[in-house]
Structure 1
């Protein structure tokens, strides 16, 4: 008899505490093998897109306990098939790396692997989760964590940037602040550490049951190699993609997952991630890394955040364009940002167009919605 997938809707941000009565008990059943689960993102549009990927009317692949729909920030989302064993292996290795089990503050959406793994780590530690409410201060939420225990929180870089500006003392109370979900600027990490924040970087994805490489070092049981791109093996790996045998065969081979990320390993086996293999703007025959341009822009005192992409150009092939969020009281323009980037990365990397945003749009995972930004930039040119 085929097992059927159970769908649970993630509470909207304004009702985040409802995670405790909806997603949390369903996840516990999933970890016990009693109820295969998928958590739909909040909002009708994202939830409908996730259902189209999940197709709950179809039989579930054997051995699956959790299906996570990827964000699809640069393409169509996929349903990642995870076993309870992979989730537990990731949680156990994370606890070991961070210094032992502890209490976690949930500050990420539970429709994505980052938030779901916070709950798995909490369950494995025998604790109850605390949930950061929308508009609630970090300090207030952290005060609900039990005294005398180790305290942990997982954030995406945008959240780290905000809380470092608004509540650095609260951030510094955590035994570890785990940063994943997107590349983190070295300048931001340095600022956090200078403020006493015990920040740890995590590299991973839904297909590796969340972070599998911390501060460049693979978790216990995880192996990493670099061929055409970064490849990962170990007990944390997913078993494939929902109703996509061709995609599964292409990405999972001989016990290794091909990430499509570029990276290098040093002589000590420490991994440095350089971004997506296909995330490059070719302008005038020069390869430009959008991530590098974003990092340079964020270092400018007038810029709070930035997203960079390429648009078609009849002369250059592609032109580098940027959407930026201004720092308080500032109004950056191309006249000051172009030479700033050019001095650091070369003339080809300097943006040729600029759009100001009130905030960077995000996907349900908390990552920047690059396709939405690209549409905005295209419409403004």
Structure 2
């Protein structure tokens, strides 16, 4: 497919991409009738291109085709989470931004003789909202209140082209996408680059390891987009090697041991670093040496400039991105100032640096680093060390109070085995962590609450800890059960 900054309908219909989910598959070249049906639907609903619609975007064929239609049309679109009910109640509609006049609900399956989506009026009057050519994506809220980032369609495609070129995606690839399409990792780094490459796409929704393995066997992907925690879970379950041409990891830094074990069993791994606001900021290349791919997030993408705040090394990172978002919007669609985006610089809370060869090295987060016994302790370093223990499936470290040694650390863990031996756990922890980095308290939960992106929901964890009002005990094997319905 010819590289363009905005794929038109004729470009999509000329594509060789085939999109599949667990129940159906569809070639983009066969979408003319479905696109015509969506034309009728938008016309009947009185939606102009300057208005925005919310798309309840799931990892299925109907959502993917409808999203491509909206982008090709130049329609303003807000990426909403999937809707559990066929007919959302008034509260669910009222929760959508006021600039969305309608909610598009993709069909449960694809039928060439039926419309791929239904349109529901939200009751909002978005006349004159001037949303044409914009995509609105909510930030994850992993460290604060979620915001709505505004992307222009042409720059969104340019960002996707950066990923296609860096990751060397090709028509011969089949790309597995178990990460959400309504998240910028799933959309901007995975799905849109796959479409640009003319590759086949295997969408996987409601992902767990067994469901992923079933889809893998059916679609035979050559490329996979995963989170480090999911890659770690896959390693625990899979017994025999299965080679991919490439696996992309993003969301958090992968521990070196997970990276090496995964690469030995599954082939080349690269790390990608990005955000909802800027899309892909940096990524490794399959051509990079293994040590570089393991230890860095690759080189900056074209159009990205490092603007680190402060003179310390590592510094708090800031970036300018020629293909990043235009800013934030409020619920009415009006431009909204944000402290993270000032003077064209997106300010992260990540600590990092560019090394002498131009590779980005991430050392953790400024707000996830504390002082203990005069030593700087990174939450991510402790979490990665704990996750390598056979007894621990996943771990999140929080600071909640002070001790004579400095900040008090609590590790919230998911155990691999319900029958925990406290003495053995203590011994294993001492083998992977320095004494000053060992958490004061270990809490054992059935599951960690997670954000739609797959990252642990740290705010929800902190809230549950505060509600539990756990004592500041030095007992390293305190047991607790999380009330969250989220799953790892």
Under TM normalisation by the shorter chain, which class is it? 0.7 to 0.9
Which of 98, 119, 126 lines up with 1:55 in the alignment? 98
1:142 aligns to 2:182 (yes or no): no
Change (3 A) 1:140 1:346: closer
2:61 paired residue number: 20
Change (3 A) 1:293 1:247: farther
Q: Does 1:222 align with 2:304?
A: yes
Alignment of 1:333-344 (within 5 A): 333=422, 335-337=423-425, 340-341=428-429
Q: Secondary structure at the match of 2:277?
A: helix
> 2:179 maps to which residue?
108
Structure 1 residues 286 and 253: alpha-carbon distance in aligned structure 2, compared to 1, 3 A threshold: same
SS at match of 2:261: helix
- For 2:321 and 2:169, locate their aligned partners in 1 and report how far apart those are by CA, in whole Å: 21
1:60, 1:285 → 2: CA distance? 54
Aligned to 2:81: 41
Whether contact under 8 Å (1:82, 1:209) holds in the other structure is: no
Alpha-carbon displacement from aligned partner over 1:46-95 (angstroms, at most 9, x marks no partner): x9799758433466576652111111122101111112222212221222
Equivalent position of 1:184 in the other structure = 254
User: CA offsets per residue over residues 254-274 of structure 1, 9 Å max, x none?
Assistant: 443222211022111111112
- 1:237 equivalent in alignment to 2:321: no
CA distance in 1: counterparts of 2:93 and 2:363, whole angstroms: 29
1:318 deviation in Å?
3.5
Note the C-alpha offset of 1:340.
5.0
Which one has more relative contact order, counting CA pairs under 8 Å at least 6 apart?
1
Q: Say if 2:318 and 2:347, in contact at 8 Å, map to a contact too.
A: yes
Q: Which residue of 1 aligns with 2:414?
A: 325
Provide the rounded CA distance (Å) in 2 between the counterparts of 1:192 and 1:139: 15
Q: How far off is 1:143 after superposition?
A: 4.4
Cα deviations by residue, 1:135-164 (Å, 9 ceiling, x for unpaired): 554343234547xxx832211112111112
Is the 1:133–1:141 Cα contact (8 Å) retained in structure 2? no
1:103: how far off?
3.0
1:239/1:123 CA distance change after superposition, 3 Å:
same
Flag the 1:238–1:168 CA change in 2: closer, same or farther, 3 A.
Answer: farther
**Quick check: which one's helix share is greater?**
1
**Structure 2: gaps (5+ residues):** 1-47, 100-123, 285-296, 311-315, 472-488
| Counterpart residue number, 1:125 | 197
1:165-196 CA-partner distances (Å, limit 9, x unpaired): 223657x4322111101222122111111224
Contact 1:89 1:235 in 2 (8 A): no
Q: Secondary structure at the match of 1:362?
A: coil
The aligned runs of 1:157-306 (5 Å cut-off) are 157-167=228-238, 169=240, 172-210=242-280, 212-214=282-284, 215-228=297-310, 229-243=316-330, 245=335, 247-248=337-338, 250-283=339-372, 286-306=375-395
Conserved in 2, the CA contact under 8 Å of 1:54 and 1:79?
no
C-alpha separation between the residues in 1 aligned to 2:413 and 2:238? 23
Q: Secondary structure at the match of 1:72?
A: coil
**CA deviations over 1:97-148 (Å, ceiling 9, x no partner):** 22232332220122211222322123222345322244554343234547xx
1:4 aligned residue: 51
Q: Which deviations, in whole Å up to 9, do the C-alpha atoms of 1:15-70 show, x marking residues without a partner? A: x5xx211x2133213432522112222467xx979975843346657665211111
How many pairs does the alignment contain?
367
Q: TM-score, normalised by structure 2?
A: 0.67
How far apart are 1:324 and its partner, in Å? 1.1
Equivalent in the alignment of 1:373: 461
Cα deviation, residue 358, structure 1: 2.1
Q: Contact 1:339–1:350 (CA<8 Å) still a contact in 2?
A: no
Larger gyration radius, structure 1 or structure 2: 2
Deviation at 1:312, TM superposition (A): 1.9
TM superposition shift of 1:311 = 0.9
Equivalent position to 1:72, from 126, 135, 141: 141
Return the alpha-carbon distance in structure 2 between the equivalents of residues 82 and 32 of structure 1: 15
1:345-375 deviation digits (Å, cap 9, x = unpaired): 5433211111112222211111111122223
CA RMSD, aligned part only? 3.2
